[in-house]
């Protein structure tokens, strides 16, 4: 997921900076990849991405779901760019 998010920031976002954070909190792995690029178009949905043949984000959603993780894709708390947030419950 991290590699795909970094690749998207490079290929699509025209980003000049990407920040990756990861940590464990409350028995969950929390990962965030935020770029300062142009962000996603307004109103974009997974259905829109599928119809237009953009499968990178769709693949990220599917991989997160198969691992039992929750994924958020959007601006997050940032004024610009895109943030991919992943929250994965850890065993035990």
Supply the DSSP string of 45-90, one letter for each residue.
Answer: -HHHHHHTT--HHHHHHHHHHHTT-EEEEE-TT-SSSEEEEEEEEP
Query: What pLDDT was estimated at residue 34?
Result: 97
For the chain, 92 residues long, give each residue's pLDDT as a single digit of tens: 999 999 999 999 999 999 999 999 999 999 999 999 999 888 888 899 889 887 888 999 999 999 999 999 988 777 789 999 999 999 98
Structural tokens at position 38: 């142009």
Domains within the chain, CATH numbers bracketed: 2-89 (3.30.565.10)
Q: Is there a contact between 64 and 50 (Cβ–Cβ < 8 Å)?
A: no
Query: What pLDDT was estimated at residue 92?
Result: 81
pTM of the model: 0.88
Query: What pLDDT was estimated at residue 55?
Result: 86
């Amino acid at each position: 997921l991290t590699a795909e998010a970094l690749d998207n920031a490079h290929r699509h976002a025209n980003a000049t900076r990407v920040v990756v954070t990861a940590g464990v909190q409350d028995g969950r792995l929390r990962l965030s990849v935020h770029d300062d690029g142009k962000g996603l178009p307004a109103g974009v949905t997974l259905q829109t991405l599928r119809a237009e043949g953009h499968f990178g984000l769709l693949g990220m959603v599917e991989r997160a779901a198969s691992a039992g993780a929750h994924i958020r894709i959007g601006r997050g708390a940032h004024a610009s760019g895109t943030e991919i947030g992943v929250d994965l419950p850890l065993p035990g």
